[in-house]
Amino acid sequence: MAIEIEQPRVGLSKVAVSKTHGEDSPYFAGWKAYDENPYHETSNQSGVIQMGLAENQVSFDLLEKYLEEHSEASSWGKGAPGFRENALFQDYHGLKSFRQAMANFMEQIRGGRAKFDPDRIVLTAGATAANELLTFILADPGDALLIPTPYYPGFDRDLRWRTGVNIVPILCDSSNNFQITPEAMEAAYQSAESMNLKVRGILITNPSNPLGATIQRSVLELILDFAVNKNIHLVSDEIYSGSTFSSSEFISIAEILETRGYKDAERVHIVYSLSKDLGLPGFRVGTIYSYNDQVVTTARRMSSFTLISSQTQHLLACMLSNKEFSENYIKTNRERLSKRYDMIIKGLKKAGIECLKGNAGLFCWMNLSPLLEKPTRESELALWKVILNEVKLNISPGSSCHCSEPGWFRVCFANMSEQTLEIALERIHKFMEQRKRN
């Protein structure tokens, strides 16, 4: 009989075995429940409705119409001239025409109130990569970034996993609609110092995920002042900038810089992507816009690990440089999102549920704290489980967004048809009625 000799197990890295990918949290567990029993309008009407994914599906028809009418975008024309050059193009500067189109699109979204220079745009395969890349550039392993809570659960993974950088939360609460205050920023800074962590930057998401609200001008000024004061960087993730319900309510950090004559600009970096505003997360298109030359140069080089397919750059350059298309898209998309938002707020109100006043994004920030047994994280998770398993809705619990107040939930409304949203609202209504009766 052959004797089995135990082979020594070949080891993996700390990164490979770490749990920092965070996929064991409720944020992702809810997705599993959805995957196992997904709602379908005709074939599975009792399935789980996915309200935990911030995807924009309300304007696909506009994209389809453009592609139908402009075959040169998705091919290279008759005989494919330009194909060869495109297929060989792996220059980390990115296609000039595409960068120009992105700069114009970003300007249009901000109503022309800020100018963007295409040579300051660095392309990455998605905003996920952009945020990670910036973290590699701005901070060393062991350093810290300050981030206001509640924040996008993905940041725990994207900003910390491979970079070795820490996140120190800036605590915000409902007493002032979760706005960022100088006291909260200072407290976070002190907290980092007391843990011997060097703070390298502050990262804000504007419009905010999960709050679904834009940051006010006065607050942006305070945040920039704070960054200047501490001599740290300011990263503004403006991925939802085109998803504001009215064009005038979003103020970009770019506008603040413009009014200050670009003084202190070299510490500011903006992240953008087409995943939310244009509803194209599958295309993997992200950008870093930096006012700092060294950061632009370094980010470009690092972007070698995360380049955007030249085919995709070509397609989007055609689409976004079509002024008629982009203007119409921005306007129509806003209107539809606004309509959806009104629909869900009304529906929730009818069921006796209040939400934070929002003006942007693909979700609303719902307050279920009155329903909690105790104002604790455990109670919140218990309630979340009930909503997932009995009401069959996957929504995101505030604790997964590091919200310091239990009972808040993020509810996405743009990744489904209106009919499905109606069904979801009916379920919530029924659930609330039941609870009232008990």
Partner 1 sequence: MRLIVPLQGVVQGRGGLIFGSLIPCALFYFLQLYLKRHRSPKPRSNPPSPTTSSPKLAEMTRTSSRSNLFSRSIGQVRISSRATSIAKPNESPYYIGLDKATEDPYDRLSNPDGVIQLGLSENRLCFDLIEKWMSENLGHSITGRDNGELNINGIATYQPFDGTMELKLAMAGFMSHIMGGAVTFEPSQMVLTAGATPAIETLCFCLADQGNAFLVPTPYYPGFDRDVKFRTGVELIPVHCRSTDNFALSITALDQAFNQTRKHGTKIRGILLSNPANPVGNLLSREMLYAILDFAREKNIHVISDEIFAGSMYGNEEFVSMAEVLDSEGFDKNRVHIVYGLSKDLSLPGFRVGVIYSFNENVLAAARKLTRFSSVSAPTQRLLVSMLSDARFIEEYIKTNKRRLQNMHALFVAGLKGLNIRCADSSAGLYCWADMSKLISSYSEKGELELWDKLLNVGKINVTPGSACHCIEPGWFRCCFTTLAEEDIPVVLERIRKAVENTTDLLNSS
Catalytic residues: 152, 237, 239, 276
Indicate the residue among 314 and 355 with the shorter CB distance to partner 1.
Answer: 314
Q: Which stretch binds partner 1 (CB under 8 A): 262-270, 332-340, 352-360, 395-403?
A: 262-270
**Residues 118, 119, 120, 121: is their CA dihedral positive or negative?**
positive
194 contributes a contact to partner 1 by CB under 8 A: no
Three-state secondary structure string covering 17-45: HCCCCCCCCHHHHHHHHHHHCECECCCEC
- By CB under 8 A, name the one of 26, 30, 153, 281 that touches partner 1: 281
200 contributes a contact to partner 1 by CB under 8 A: yes
CB atoms within 10 A of CB 276: 23
CB atoms within 10 A of CB 20: 16
Would you say 222 and 215 are in contact if contact means Cβ atoms under 8 Å apart? no
- Nearest approach in angstroms of CB 263 to partner 1 is 8
Q: Tokens for 166, please give them.
A: 């820490």
- By CB under 8 A, name the one of 243, 310, 396, 400 that touches partner 1: 310
196 contributes a contact to partner 1 by CB under 8 A: no
For residue 228, which amino acid is it? V
- Nearest approach in angstroms of CB 265 to partner 1 is 6
380 contributes a contact to partner 1 by CB under 8 A: no
- Nearest approach in angstroms of CB 100 to partner 1 is 13
Q: Which stretch binds partner 1 (CB under 8 A): 59-67, 181-189, 364-372, 375-383?
A: 59-67
- Nearest approach in angstroms of CB 434 to partner 1 is 33
Number of residues located near partner 1, criterion CB under 8 A: 97
Q: Which stretch binds partner 1 (CB under 8 A): 136-144, 179-187, 189-197, 381-389?
A: 136-144
267 contributes a contact to partner 1 by CB under 8 A: yes
Q: Tokens for 38, please give them.
A: 């997904």
Containing 166, the helix (H) or strand (E) segment is: strand 166-170
Helix intervals (H) in 303-409: 310-320, 323-350, 377-389
301 contributes a contact to partner 1 by CB under 8 A: yes
Binding mask 12-41 for partner 1 (x = CB under 8 A): xxxxxx---x-x------------------
1 contributes a contact to partner 1 by CB under 8 A: no
295 contributes a contact to partner 1 by CB under 8 A: yes
In the range 86-105, which residues lie near partner 1 by CB under 8 A?
Answer: 86-93
Helix intervals (H) in 195-322: 217-230, 253-259, 293-302, 310-320
Angle at 136 between CA 207 and CA 193, to 5 degrees: 80
For residue 103, which amino acid is it? A
404 contributes a contact to partner 1 by CB under 8 A: no
In the range 201-230, which residues lie near partner 1 by CB under 8 A?
Answer: 228
Cis peptide, bond prior to residue 150, ω within 30 of zero:
yes
The closest of 340, 332, 244 to 62, measured between CA atoms, is: 332
The closest of 331, 291, 322 to 119, measured between CA atoms, is: 291
138 contributes a contact to partner 1 by CB under 8 A: yes
- Nearest approach in angstroms of CB 176 to partner 1 is 29
